[in-house]
Amino acid sequence: MFKFGFSKGVSISRTSLAEIFTKGFSTQHGRKLEGKVALITGAASGIGKATATKFVNNGAKVVIADMQRQLGQDTAKELGSNAAFIACDVTKESDISNAVDFAISKFNQLDIMYNNAGVACNSPSSIVDLDLALFDRVMSINVRGVMAGIKHASRVMIPRRTGSILCTASVTGVIGGLSQHTYAVSKATVIGIVKTVASELRKYGIRVNCISPFAIPTPLVMEEMSRLYPGVDAQRLVEIVHNTGTLEGENCEAIDIANAALYLASEDAKYVNGHNLVVDGGFTSFKSLEFPAPDQVVC
């Protein structure tokens, strides 16, 4: 067996080194959230519902908090006894506080808080036409709702000195020009919130991260698309959304965000904190110069 020499006569075997190196490697296969309790806002539909399903399938108990009562109850029923629904409007701090308390009374603890509820907005594209009443309404859901979620999750996570907080941001908050200003500002703010809150909560072993999805044809996007293209059938609208992607052969889907959320919520991401996990097939990483082909340029 090889020996590695260290100064002052210290030596360590290759086997010991390998043991140290592999200590903590995940051995979890498919049950990454066994024994964990998660609260997900906006989980009656789209990304939140896909994530709730993924979390339950990985052993978690999940509270679905959403404004849409019937849809939320149906989702919880679909997921079985490891899911429960609570009506929650994230613009009301008392609703968020109740949802956190409900998670604890129902499932005894809160390990994961996913602040995912959000809305799009149909607002004019120019800054000179900015509708500030609409701006306030969108910020009250997409930003204030996230802050309230983090505040009340922290209230119960700090005493336990553990927890994972997730938020849904967006590629529209990463680079400019992808949406009108109001939505883009709300999502850029979520990325900022994660950084500032992570700087405090790290002291308690609580991680705070966000995910920035690319366009996915969930009800939120499909409603916007129907407004933009009245009369066009849903299948064609889905195609238009998917055609905006840059990664050949794949489309961005809710399950991709659920997989990212599972990673960030689990022990696999135990040292990932203050991070914005962009799930966009590389869209925000590059631009193409689009040079004309040499035979198209006249000398």
* Residues annotated catalytic, as ranges: 183
Q: Among residues 89, 286, 276, which one has the least CA distance to residue 188?
A: 276
Binding residue (CB under 6 A) for ligand NAD from 97, 98, 119, 144: 119
From first CA to last CA, the distance across the chain in angstroms is 68
Range list of H helices, 108-204:
132-142, 144-157, 181-201
Q: Where are the beta strands (DSSP E) in 79-181?
A: 83-87, 112-115, 163-168
41 lies in the binding site for ligand NAD (CB under 6 A): yes
In whole angstroms, how close is the CB of 101 to ligand NAD at the nearest point? 16
Beta carbon nearer to ligand NAD, 67 or 156: 67
Segment near ligand NAD (CB under 6 A); pick from 7-15, 30-38, 46-54, 102-110: 46-54
In whole angstroms, how close is the CB of 23 to ligand NAD at the nearest point? 36
In whole angstroms, how close is the CB of 167 to ligand NAD at the nearest point? 8
Beta carbon nearer to ligand NAD, 33 or 190: 190
Distance of CA 201 to the CA centre of its chain: 18
118 lies in the binding site for ligand NAD (CB under 6 A): yes
CA gyration radius, the chain = 22
Binding residue (CB under 6 A) for ligand NAD from 155, 219, 270, 282: 219
227 lies in the binding site for ligand NAD (CB under 6 A): no
- CB neighbourhood size of 34 (10 A): 11
d(Cα 164, Cα 55) in Å, to the nearest integer? 13
What is the three-class DSSP state of 266? coil
The token pair that represents 56 in the structure block:
């339950």
| Residue span 64-93 as binding mask against ligand NAD, x where in contact by CB under 6 A, dash where not | --xxx-------------------xxxx--
Residue 246 in contact with residue 227, Cβ under 8 Å?
no
> Which residues bind to ligand NAD, rule: CB under 6 A?
41-42, 44-48, 66-68, 88-91, 116-119, 141, 145, 168, 170, 213, 215-216, 218-221
